[in-house]
Amino acid sequence: MAVDETQRGIGLGSTLLKQSIEHLFKTQGTRALLIEIDSPEKNSDEQAIREKREQFYRRLGALKIDPFDYILALKSSEEAPPMELLVYHPHMKTVSKSTLQTWLEKLYVNVYGCSQNDPRIAQMLESTPPILNLI
């Protein structure tokens, strides 16, 4: 979902996202929504837009998994850009490592067509504690 840059800042994106989440929860039940964003913590020519994007999702209630370094599932030999994985759920404040592993496997398989055993998943989880905070 995206909003034309000439229409940003008037609440259209917030309204679209809120209504989409409301519809999803009503029809599919309340579940965690995962949001991939370019990391605003890494310096970039697009630093301002990265920070605005993170602020947008956080204003709507999305939380960052901490501590956690997300690796985008690119299918090329190109190095993945620094990313973060945000979680939107009305009541969730922590996530277990096993739940995070399930989420990553589903993302890699269902969104990117990668293997459930993709080594990047193990790499992301290698030093992850049993319980992660959503901050």
Query: Which residues, including other chains, have CB under 8 Å from residue 31's CB and lie 6 or more apart?
Result: 24, 25, 89
Quick check: is 91 in a domain?
yes
Distance CA 39, CA 24 (A): 26
Establish how many alpha carbons lie within 13 A of residue 121's alpha carbon, considering only the half-sphere containing its beta carbon.
Answer: 19
Burial track 57-78 (b if 16+ CB lie within 10 A, e otherwise): beeeebbbbeebebbebeeeee
Owning domain of residue 100: 11-134
For residue 79, what pLDDT band results from cuts at 50, 70 and 90?
A: confident
pLDDT exceeds cutoff 90 at 54: yes
- The pLDDT score that the predictor gives to residue 106 is 98
Task: Specify if 104 maps to a domain.
Answer: yes
Q: Is 90 exceeded by the pLDDT of residue 45?
A: no
Whole-number average pLDDT of the chain: 94
CATH of the domain at 30: 3.40.630
* Helices and strands, counts by H and E, the chain: 4, 5
Residue 84 maps to a domain = yes
Is 15 within a domain?
yes
In the chain, the amino acid numbered 135 is: I
pLDDT reading at 85 higher than 90: yes
Report yes or no on 4 lying in a domain: no
Query: Residue 74 domain-assigned?
Result: yes
Q: Using alpha carbons only, what angle is made at residue 74 by residues 93 and 116, rounded to the nearest 5 degrees?
A: 65
Indicate whether 50 belongs to any domain.
yes
Residue 83 is classified by DSSP as: E
Average pLDDT over residues 108-126: 97
Q: Is residue 45 part of a domain?
A: yes
Domain count, the chain: 1
On the question of pLDDT at 132 being above 90, the answer is yes
